[in-house]
Structure 1
Amino acid sequence: MTYHELSATEEIATEQPPEKPLEQQYRELLQDYSALKEELEAVREENRQLKDNLKKSQFGFDAISPRAFCFFTGLRSVGLFLWLLAILKRSTSITLRGGLTWENNFLIVLMKIRLGLLNRDIAYRFGTSFTTVSRILREWIPLLSSTLRPMIVWPSKEKIRAKLPRVFKPKYKNCRCIIDCTEIFIQRTFNMTARSETWSNYKHQNTMKYLIGITPTGSISFLSDGWGGRASDKLITIDSGFLKKVDPKDEILADRGFLIREELAMVGATLRIPSFTKSKSQLSGRCVDTSRQLSRVRIHVERVIGQLKQFLILNTVIPISQVDLLDDVIVICAALTNKKRSVVPLKR
């Protein structure tokens, strides 16, 4: 092949195909665009499904069904949870930790109180660290306590009489409050003085002791600060400020351990406790009947304490490192107990 023939062949081979009309190019590009757009939407939908599946596989607020919500938090509804959270969000003293949402920070606090879980258990469930859980609890519990404390109300005598249940009317129409003490186990400390002051002869363990008062309708109306288990019921009642709330002609129902008749008499109130046998071998028929009637109404405070201890943290042994939070914890438990259905039949 000659040089000119070779040049002609290369020239033919390098010729470009004729360009498509612009209208045809536009249609093809539009089709490619539509195909890519559909593919992108499919990828986005797949991502949404993966995110939903991931949320369901991880423990947290989004993974709890409404039916299980009360078990994990002790609250009646998700709405109450969100209402309390909205109030707490207004505080400037809270810092979100561990990359967790507001809802999960609050959920950690409520689960600690409701279920009494170890901090390491909570950290594992939420995929965070033990230190993060400890810091969340130390920041949120005091704030939640101060938010809920107004739910523990000492009502007026008029309000109590207006709602007095039928079971109180025959013998205890002037009942203002039923009182009792409850004890929470704490870890034994190395400090011998503190160990002695918190030793409970009744529980045979180191405890913190609280005076609880309820209205005839079953609401917690008084809650003392914590005392060492060694303190007597009388001492706590006198020094807790309870007597300052009592008015003349009030009746206070209690157990035999509350030897405060004289202290109540000084403010014009009356103490009602079961009769003592003293030196007698047995009680008279009248005393037995009176004690039986008193027991029928006084037992409601024990039932309310039973409701209170459905918050399982109060059934655990509180570590020494967390005892300083116990007063706030029991305030939270008492306030949320007041949001539950009353244990007293409210028929009037």
Structure 2
Amino acid sequence: MVHTCVVTGCRNRRTPGTGLSFYRFPRDPDRKQRWIEAVNREGWVPNDGSRLCSTHFISDFSPPVFPHAGKQVKNPRSADYVPSVFTTAPLSPEMKEPGAVEILDKQEARVEAANALLFLQGQGSTAVGERVQEEHPEEREQEAIVEESASSSLSTDDEDEDESVSDSKKGKFDAPVNFEDILRALKKENQALRESVEKMSLSENSLRNDAEKVKFYTGLPNYFVLETVMWLLAPHMDGMKNVRLSKFQQLLLTLMRLRLDLRNQDLAYRFGVKVGMLTKTVHRMVNIMSSTLVPTAVFWPSRAELRKNLPAALRTSHPDCAVIIDCFTVPFEEPVSRGNQHQQQQRVAPSSQGEGTSYNVLKYLIGVAPQGVVTFVSRGVLGNVSDKTLAEGCGFLCKLLPGDVVLAARNLDIADSVAARGALFKIACSHQGEASGSSEGSPLADSSSEAVSVQRHVERVISMVKRRYAMLTGPVESPFTAASERTSNLSTFDKIVQVACALNNLCISAAPLE
């Protein structure tokens, strides 16, 4: 909008390079009325577009074209609180400039008018001011400081309110902004942030091309194996109502719970869910994996398969070897809750045998094929239960066929039980005449190197499973030791042990006996 001064006879308008300012009429009613009276246009009322140029003020503001131009001030004590110069205004640069004599006459007239106005404004307060200064010089000095601060503040406010600053202040000569470059930079930054967030997140895309990340969080060797497990479990997860977590996230958090033994609260923070929901998800996923994955990955191989893949270390000495067995323990947090009366009776067994510490562990019987895969895992029993009782009650003997050879690195006192199935129990040891049962089931004294090899074989597999899934190192939390189903004597942790062995079998890092 091109602003033109409203004063009669003043033809100044906003022109680039002149340095003139155009002021809107004040909002304060009293001051606005005084401006209207100063303009002296009969019956005229200013509107929002009405402007008054700076040539009608006398303050010390002198641009090159209009050396007489002033600036409005909001301080009521200032001469420029109300415009006071209303002689014939100078013409704009487009018009003819007045002569030097005319300019001097006009300047003198303005100076006289200003002196008269200052005299009239100060005459009424001179006597009072002198008396106050004499009686209270400190208060007068403080008042002067306040007035100076108010004048500066009012002048600043006026500058903010003024729409018509000079063209140089408006940034006329600023370099143009290239918004396309800015938009391109913002898009690039946005893409980098998205990639960074995706890389830090626990999603399918972040794991798909990062085998090390898959291995760290799940224990599985690569994304292909993880995807295969997901494909196997997905049909059984349809009935699980969990709108916050996808099927992949439910599997991933369960594997992270087993793999890293993270606390439920930690996982709840990572996946943005409540602890109760996460706990239910872990228990349900363990039950699904126990019923679906374990039968697929942990099974007793046929005799033909065993003999076909028998390692060279046993091909000559024990060609009929079906399994190598041992026991391992996991500490738990008390109390242990079992779902059957038999376990409760075992828990209150006599403590006169001095095995008090054995009550704080769960014992498992594990069977490992000579090829290095787990073929059998028992349920857990309290540590004070004998190896013989565990072997005879866990269903291991039912897997044996007549003629099978069962190897162990130590005496588990099950030679008679194995012989009753028509199989042979042998202890790989370096000493003759160890404890024996019948002639068919007597321990067979093998070379020291073979004994060490058999012992290391089982220990290596057990160590591999525990190292891959740290939750098996214990201590087991009490909620996992309770029977997960009324129809089963398996606790949730029993299923976790079996699931960990099944997942270990899916890895390509099996440990064959050499």
* 2:308 alignment partner in structure 1: 162
8 Å Cα contact 1:181-1:209 kept in structure 2: yes
Residue 74 and residue 196 in structure 1: after superposition, are their counterparts in 2 closer, same or farther (change >3 A)? farther
Alignment match of 1:216 (pick from 351, 358, 370): 370
Does 2:211 align with 1:66?
yes
What residue is the counterpart of 2:247 in the other structure? 102
Q: State yes or no: 1:238 paired with 2:395.
A: no
State the distance in 1 between where 2:221 and 2:464 align. 14
CA distance, structure 1, for counterparts of residue 381 and residue 184 of structure 2: 63
CA distance in 1, matches of 2:184, 2:247: 30
8 A contact 1:72–1:114 mirrored in 2 = yes
Q: Does 1:330 align with 2:497?
A: yes
Distance in 1 between residues matched to 2:475 and 2:385, nearest whole Å: 19
- Rate the CA distance shift 1:268–1:75 in 2: closer, same or farther, 3 A: same
Tell me the C-alpha RMSD between the 2 structures. Answer: 3.3
From the superposition, tell whether residues 318 and 190 of structure 1 become closer, same or farther in structure 2 (CA, over 3 Å): closer
Residue type of the partner of 2:392? I
In structure 2, relative to structure 1, the CA distance for the partners of 1:291 and 1:238 (3 Å cut) is farther
Partner residue, 2:198: 55
Q: Secondary structure at the match of 2:506?
A: coil
Q: Return the alpha-carbon distance in structure 1 between the equivalents of residues 287 and 495 of structure 2.
A: 6
Equivalent position amino acid for 1:319 in 2: E
Mapping of residues 160-309 of structure 1, within 5 Å: 160-189=306-335, 196=348, 201=355, 204=358, 206-273=360-427, 274=429, 275=431, 290-309=447-466
| Partner of residue 220, structure 2 | 75
Which aligned pairs between 1:21-32 and structure 2 lie closer than 5 A? none
Structure 2 vs 1, CA of residues 272 and 288 (structure 1 numbering), >3 Å: closer, same or farther? Answer: closer
Identity of aligned residues (%): 28
Q: Which residue of 2 aligns with 1:6?
A: none
Instruction: Please report how far the alpha carbon of residue 44 of structure 1 lies from its aligned counterpart in structure 2 after TM superposition.
Output: 8.3
Work out the CA distance in 1 between the residues paired with 2:396 and 2:332: 25
The answer to whether 1:316 aligns with 2:474 is yes
For each residue in 1:160-191, what CA deviation from the matched residue of structure 2 results, as whole angstroms up to 9, or x when unmatched?
Answer: 11111111123212211100111111111188
Give SS of 1:121's match: helix
- For 2:470, the aligned partner's letter is L
Cross-structure match for 1:32: none
One-letter amino acid matched to 1:121:
D
Shift of 1:90: 1.2
Seen in structure 2, the aligned counterparts of structure 1 residues 289 and 256 have a Cα distance that, compared at 3 Å, is closer
Q: TM-score, normalised by structure 2?
A: 0.53
State how many pairs are aligned.
305
Task: Check 1:83–1:204 CA distance in 2 against 1; reply closer, same or farther (3 A cut).
Answer: same
Tell me: CA distance 1:260–1:276, structure 2 relative to 1, closer, same or farther (3 Å): farther
Counterparts in 2 of 1:139 and 1:42: CA distance versus 1, 3 Å: farther
- More RCO (CA 8 Å, sep 6+): 1
Give the direction of change, closer, same or farther, for the CA distance of 1:46–1:96 in structure 2 (3 Å limit).
farther
C-alpha offsets along residues 32-51 of structure 1, whole Å, 9 cap, x if unaligned?
xxxxxxx9999988766654
Q: CA deviation at 1:124?
A: 1.8
Residue in structure 1 matched with residue 234 of structure 2 by the alignment = 89
Does the CA-based 8 Å contact 1:148-1:331 persist in structure 2?
no
How far residue 261 of structure 1 moved from its aligned partner, in angstroms, is 1.3
Written as runs of structure 1 = structure 2, the 5 A alignment for 1:119-134 is 119-134=264-279
Give the whole-Å Cα distance in 2 for the aligned partners of 1:245 and 1:81: 30
Q: 1:214–1:221: 8 Å Cα contact kept in structure 2?
A: yes
Greater fraction helix: 1
- The CA distance in 2 between the partners of 1:100 and 1:290, in whole Å, is 55
Structure 2, unaligned runs of 5 or more: 1-181, 338-343, 436-443, 482-490
SS at match of 1:342: coil
Give the letter aligned to residue 159 of structure 1. E
Tell me how far apart the structure 2 counterparts of residues 156 and 179 of structure 1 sit (CA, whole Å). Answer: 17
Give the SS at the match of 2:330: strand
Secondary structure class of the residue paired with 1:176: strand
The 3-state SS of whatever aligns with 1:338 is: helix
* Distance in 2 separating the partners of 1:67 and 1:296: 31
Who is 2:120 aligned against? none
Note closer, same or farther for the CA distance 1:327–1:93 as it changes in structure 2 (3 Å cut). farther
Q: Aligned runs of 1:39-50 on 2, under 5 Å?
A: none
Distance 1:329-1:174 versus aligned 2 partners, 3 A rule = same
Which secondary structure state, in structure 2, belongs to the residue aligned with residue 67 of structure 1?
helix
Paired residue type of 1:232 = S
Q: Which has the larger radius of gyration?
A: 2
